[in-house]
Every structure is written in C-alpha cells, then in structure tokens.
Amino acid sequence: MPDIPHDLTLEDIARMAGVSPATASRVINNRVGLRSKARERVLEVVAETGFQPHAAARSLASQRSYVMGLLIPAPASTILTHPNVLQLAEVITQACQEHEYLLSLFLMGSDADERRILPKITRKGFIDGLIVRGADDRSSDPLLATLSATGMPLVSLGRPTDLPHVSYVAADNMTAAYHAVAHLLNLGRRRIGLLVGSLEPYASQERLAGYRKGLAERGLPVDEQFIAVGGMSESSGAAQRLLQQRPDALFMPTRMAPDVLSVLHAARLRVPDDIALVGFDDLPLAQQTDPPLTTVRQPMAAMGKQLVGMLLDIVAHGAHPPRHVVFAQELVIRQSCGALSLDDRWRTAAG
Amino acid sequence: MPDIPHDLTLEDIARMAGVSPATASRVINNRVGLRSKARERVLEVVAETGFQPHAAARSLASQRSYVMGLLIPAPASTILTHPNVLQLAEVITQACQEHEYLLSLFLMGSDADERRILPKITRKGFIDGLIVRGADDRSSDPLLATLSATGMPLVSLGRPTDLPHVSYVAADNMTAAYHAVAHLLNLGRRRIGLLVGSLEPYASQERLAGYRKGLAERGLPVDEQFIAVGGMSESSGAAQRLLQQRPDALFMPTRMAPDVLSVLHAARLRVPDDIALVGFDDLPLAQQTDPPLTTVRQPMAAMGKQLVGMLLDIVAHGAHPPRHVVFAQELVIRQSCGALSLDDRWRTAAG
DNA sequence: CCTCATCATGGAAGCGCTTGCACTATATTA
DNA sequence: TAATATAGTGCAAGCGCTTCCATGATGAGG
C-alpha cells in the first residue's frame, strides 16, 4: 500500500503549532502583526507539512473563492484562427497570479454547452468574477446580457455596444485604422482598399470609420468600390471588384493574408512594390508571410492586466458605475507596407 | 439602484416548497423517488427562482466539487503548433458534461506558473480530478511525478514511461507508424525516409520502432541515413543527408509539412509522384497543404471520453491499480501518399 | 507602580449544503 | 385487519474554514 499523506486540517496545524485555529488561519492569510512567536511557529508547521487550506471550506467561510474565470465562447477551430485568444489567456493567467488569484478557463463551443456550462459557472461560491471575450465578433451579444443578469462580477474584452452597463476593455480600432491609412498615405499610396470579413462586428465598423476618416482628412474621396466585405478566396464579388480598381494598398484582417497573397501572386502583383499590405491583428502568422506583414497590434499584456484589475475592483466595490477603458494600438512596421526602415516603429496616439 | 436578485439558499427554497432542507437537497440531487408531491413542488420552486446551490457549500458538505481540471503545461505559442490540445480540451469538456461535471482549463506556461498554480489546483475541495497532457513531449515528466505525489486523482494523456503507477490513455504510435510504412510499401515505395523533430519523446521512439518493424517485416534493411532527427528548415545535416538519399517517400510530423513541401518544391520534386508524404498527426493544416496530406490520426473523441471515464472511476474507487489504455490510430488517406482512391480509408488494428 | 490604550489571541458562531439516523406514511402480504 | 416491508421525510450533526467578539498580554504615560 502506498503511504497516502494524511489530510491535515487547519485544526491539526493549529494544534501542532500550539495555537488556536483562529490564529493559524490569520497567519496563513497574513492577518496578524509581523512580530509574533505564534506566527513563526505556524509558518514552520505549514512549511513542514505542505498544508493547504481546504478550498471549499475557505470559500464558504470567506465568501471568496480566489478564482477568476475566463470564458471563451468559441469552438476550438475558431480559436485557431483567432490565436490571440490564447495569448490573452496566458496574459490573464499571469495577471491573476499577481493578485494571488487562480484563473480557470472555460471553453464553450456551442449553444448546448452554454446551457449546461453557464449555470454551473455562475453558481455562487464558484468563481469570484468572470472575464468574457465579448463583442468583438458580434455587435450584440446575448451571452453577455445573460451573464450580466446573473449578477456575476463581469468584464468584457471588446465593447458590447448594446450593454452600456457592462464594464469592458477594448482596443481603439478606429484610431488604429486611421493611423494605418495615414501611414499608407504618407508612403505615397493613394488607391487604398479595405477588406473586411464582415461589417457586423463593431470592431469592423470602427475600422471602416477610421479608414474613412484617414482618407477624408486628406481630402480624398472614399470610393465604395474600394471597400470589400467578405473573404478573398470566396467568390465574393466585392473582392474581385476591389482588385479591378487596381489598388496600390490593401488593409485587411491578418488571418486573410495567405489567401490575399496567393491571389496577388497569381495576378503577378508584387508586394509591396505594386501593392502595399497592412493587417488588422498581429497574429504570429504575420511574421511568417512573404513578405512579413505590417500590422496593427493590440497591447495584449496591458489589456490583460487592466481586465484583471477592473474585475478585482468590481468584486471588491461592485459593478457601479461601469468601467470602460480603451487602449491605443501599435502599428508594427514590417516589409509588406513598403516603409523603408525595418526598425521604424510608430505608435498610435492614446485614444 | 439596480435590483439585485436576492440570493436564495436551500433553506429558502425548502420553505417555499413546504419541505425540509434535507428533502429539497435530495430532490435537487435526484436522490428521492420520482413520484412524490414534495419532489414536484421543489422542482417548481427551483425552476421559478433559478436557484443554484452554493458551490462551495455543496463541495464542503459532499466532499465533491463536480469539477475536473485539465492542465495544459505549455505556453500559448506551443499550443498553436500543437492544436490538437485544443481539440482535446473541447472533447473533454463535452465528456465531462455528460457526467454533470464541469471542466476547468489551466494554462501553465512556465515553471514559475507551475510553482504558483499547482498548489492551488491540488488543494482539497477544489477539483475532484485532473487530466494532464503528459509525457508525449518528454519521456520523463517531473510534473506528473509531483502531481501524483499529492494524491490528486490523475490521468495522463500520453504514456509517462517512468511512472508506472500513473494511469494513462495513449495512442499506439508504434502500430500506427508500422501501418503507415506498410501502406507506403504497398504502394511500391521502397526508399522511405523518417523525419522526426527529436527522439526524446517516447512517442517518437515508438514511431521509429514502428518504422523499423515495417521495413524489417518485408526483409528490407534500415539505412540510418534515412532517419533524420531535427527540423527540415534548420541546417540539420541529418535532413540534408536524408534528401541526398533520394527517398521516394517521407514520414514526418504534420506540423513540418509546409517546410518540407517548400524544400521539395525547391528541389523540383513532385508530391506524390516523385516522393510520397505521410504525416504523424492529423492537424487541420494537413488539409490545407498542396497536395493534402495523408496522416495518422488519433481518435481524439474516444480518447477524451476514456480519459474522463477513467478519471471518474479513480475518483470513485481510488487509483489502484493504475489503468492503462492504448488506442489504435487511423490512417487518413489524402493525396500526398499517392494512393489512388480518395475514399480509401484504412484503419490500424487495435493495439 | 498603576492606569489606560493597543495589540495578539482564543472561543464560538456561523458560511450553505449533504447525509446518517430515526421516524412516519404508504404499500404489501398473510 | 394486523404484521411487516418500503419509501419518503425531517432532525441535527457536521464538512473545514473565517471572523466577530471578548479576553488576556504588552507597552506607554503619569
């Protein structure tokens, strides 16, 4: 038989240290004065035994679980095409640790999952708060509405346009698109096309607005033929129409880069000589394309910290008033835009 | 002020239904007979109020949290190159739901994470059991050893060769490689090369063994020059040496496919005419290459179900004796191996 | 040396649920 | 109908911790 380590309780630890459970608890949770014999003895015993308080008991008594949740409402296949979700998870895991919190991830691939998972996640005493990768993908998000109604402390990554009382952290897509277009204009491009997968996401609308603003500011007209909605490889008439306009620059989602490149290649267009390319999101992919892709990049680490900080604040002080924080984005200059220096790097102004 | 929904307790529910808390609890947990007035009344009240029992209180009293953990000991960047981890997470999430369990994912990108996360995860009363994506990547896994020592119910995906007492579910890489080689031999290939990233992983060793066995069975000698360890794009002498042998078939990790294809393309070798290709893992990538890649595929859904089933069994009946289950793999025939029919599909025998 | 403020400590009451035990209502059989 | 088995229910005791409150120890000021 293997030697199963005896499951100690706080009472055992207290007895071994010659103090009361109350004191042991306070020591373990850093609640007593620093100069104390009792404190030292308890810490000694804890170190020796490797004691960890029972999670459920602690949660029940303190009404805190010291666990945050990150809800990823997308099937695994989607996560692969939007890999910054993973980076987000990593960053948030880190940020939680800095506050002695643990982060649990929940994958929710389908509506069926939603029905089964949500009630369990929103149970009292399970997690203290929830971060949801929200409304970047759809402008109206019933999931966030549902969650918000449960009273669970909540922060959304991405702005849920129809839920003003939900706190969120978002990237300033409008300004980022504006700066990207300005950059292309500065490089002498004049026939700049915009390619988006869909205009439903609020993020896409912001980018379109930034694009328009960039052109308008220079007094350039916006030709609707230069705005293509839908994939490049799809038989989307819009994309074809766009190419027929002979654009000298293209602003597009990074994940479409391979398709776009192969289409341009087939059309014997050289990048960036004949046509400059700028991507929306700085996916790892951007560095692997040929030529490497100039892209807009969200400050994920900072956004992750902000999300966690806000959530902790909401857990401690309630969700009112809602907090809204918008982060400026970076433009990472690589070869595809035709800028001269590789090291040249240029930031958008704070939103 | 917003109307915060009053937090109900089981006692409230019981009172509203006119029964004792004990009965209410039993109804909610399906512990009483189906034909009972009390039962109906309780269910009614629960439905009306949307009551969910307090997670911590339930865990404390029942010594069960009804949560399983899936530990992913890799940084986000690694997950992207091994996307089947995500599929695994999805499959396991599903399997857990079928048993009224919830799955929490934990990302552990660094050793620092390990030190901070592990003690919290292994706390009593937090999760009932843990699935670890284990030793496919390293033959000796200190993480599994540490976890195993905590007494936490544990199942590994991948065989941890140095921990015979740890239960695991694994794929039969040896047989799969053997069958893949046999398949290539059946197609008339004789100069079959093997490309692996490293021989440290036990999985790679198994594949090598299967490769050797496949050749040996036909009485063919194994030329060590045909075995290349390391990446294709790296300046690995082994890979160059392998190509100089003019192989007519290559067996390799799927994630190396793009590199390999571009090298072959540069060498003006046609796939599959001049050289046939078979991959190790059926990543989504395999369908996007040109030509689409014939690969070995793990039965992820079945393995996920098995992992969860075993873990539940261990939670209920203890970890002794350890359970070991090995799954046969499929060979998914696509164009890269030069087999005639696309629909031809052929399975390895059970291991 | 004594009084009063200050701080560390212990006692004990929960946190909200599950479950063993004892008991009562109902069903079964003679 | 009485005797017995059976299912349904309630009581109350925890599960292992935190924290309010009261008490004892300690140190400062008179």
Q: Which nucleotides of D are covered by protein (CB under 7 A)?
A: 7-12, 14-20
What number is the average pLDDT over the span A234-243? Answer: 67
Nearest-CA distance A304 → chain B (Å) = 14
Quickly give B67 CA vs D15 C1' distance in Å: 18
List, for residues B246-259, the tens digit of each pLDDT value: 888 888 888 888 78
Verify if strand C has an atom below 7 Å from the CB of A32: yes
Chain B residues with CB inside 8 Å of A57's CB? Answer: 56, 60, 125
pLDDT band at A6 (very low <50, low <70, confident <90, very high): low
Q: What is the pTM of this model?
A: 0.88
Tell whether the model's pLDDT for residue B327 goes beyond 90: yes
User: Of A174-183, B206-215, B336-345, where does mean pLDDT reach its minimum?
Assistant: B336-345
Contact B7 A113 (CB under 8 A): no
- Choose, out of A63, A80, A127, the residue to mutate when testing the contact with B (most B CBs < 10 Å): A80
Q: Could you tell me which residue, A18 or B35, shows the higher pLDDT?
A: A18
Find, among B210, B208, B346, B333, the residue nearest to B272 by Cα: B333
What number is the average pLDDT over the span B68-83? Answer: 86
The reported pLDDT for the residue numbered B233 is 60
Nearest nucleotide, C1' to the C-alpha of B8? C16
Nearest-CA distance A340 → chain B (Å) = 28
Within 5-24 of chain A, which residues have Cβ less than 7 Å from strand C?
18-23
The reported pLDDT for the residue numbered B20 is 92
Q: Which nucleotides of C are covered by protein (CB under 7 A)?
A: 7-12, 14-20
Handedness of CA B18, B23, B26, B30 (dihedral sign): negative
Q: Which residue of A has its CA nearest to B51?
A: A123
- Choose, out of A3, A116, A254, the residue to mutate when testing the contact with B (most B CBs < 10 Å): A116
CA distance B93 to B277: 33
Verify if strand C has an atom below 7 Å from the CB of A316: no
What integer best gives the mean pLDDT of chain B?
85
Nearest-CA distance A215 → chain B (Å) = 37
**By three-state DSSP, how is residue A210 classified?**
helix
pLDDT band at B4 (very low <50, low <70, confident <90, very high): very low
Tell whether the model's pLDDT for residue B68 goes beyond 90: yes
Nearest to B125 among A56, A117, A284 (CB): A56
Q: In the 3-class helix/strand/coil scheme, how is A227-250 assigned residue by residue?
A: EEECCCCCCCHHHHHHHHCCCCEE
At A242, give phi and psi (nearest 5°). -60, -50
Q: Which residue of A has its CA nearest to B84?
A: A76
List, for residues A268-290, the tens digit of each pLDDT value: 888 778 888 888 887 777 777 87
The reported pLDDT for the residue numbered A237 is 67
Verify if strand C has an atom below 7 Å from the CB of A35: yes
pLDDT band at A128 (very low <50, low <70, confident <90, very high): very high
What number is the average pLDDT over the span A158-174? Answer: 91
Chain B residues with CB inside 8 Å of A150's CB? Answer: 5
The reported pLDDT for the residue numbered B94 is 93
Contact B54 A65 (CB under 8 A): no
Contact A284 B80 (CB under 8 A): yes
Contact B107 A89 (CB under 8 A): yes
Chain B residues with CB inside 8 Å of A314's CB? Answer: none
Q: What is the percentage of chain B residues whose pLDDT exceeds 70?
A: 91
What number is the average pLDDT over the span A172-188? Answer: 89
List, for residues A49-105, the tens digit of each pLDDT value: 999 999 999 999 999 999 999 999 888 888 877 778 888 999 999 999 999 999 999
List, for residues B101-156, the tens digit of each pLDDT value: 999 999 998 888 889 999 999 999 999 999 998 755 555 678 899 999 999 999 99
User: Of A231-240, A291-300, A320-329, B167-176, where does mean pLDDT reach its minimum?
Assistant: A231-240
Longest pairwise C-alpha distance within chain A: 84
What integer best gives the mean pLDDT of chain A?
85
Highest mean pLDDT among A247-256, B221-230, B258-267, B325-334: B325-334
List, for residues B12-50, the tens digit of each pLDDT value: 999 999 999 999 999 999 888 777 788 999 999 999 999
Distances from the Cα of B302 to the Cαs of A315, B155, B348, in angstroms?
Answer: 40, 15, 15
What stretches of chain A show up as alpha helix (H) in DSSP?
Answer: 10-17, 21-28, 37-49, 55-62, 76-81, 84-97, 111-121, 142-150, 173-186, 202-217, 237-244, 257-266, 285-288, 300-317
pLDDT band at B336 (very low <50, low <70, confident <90, very high): confident
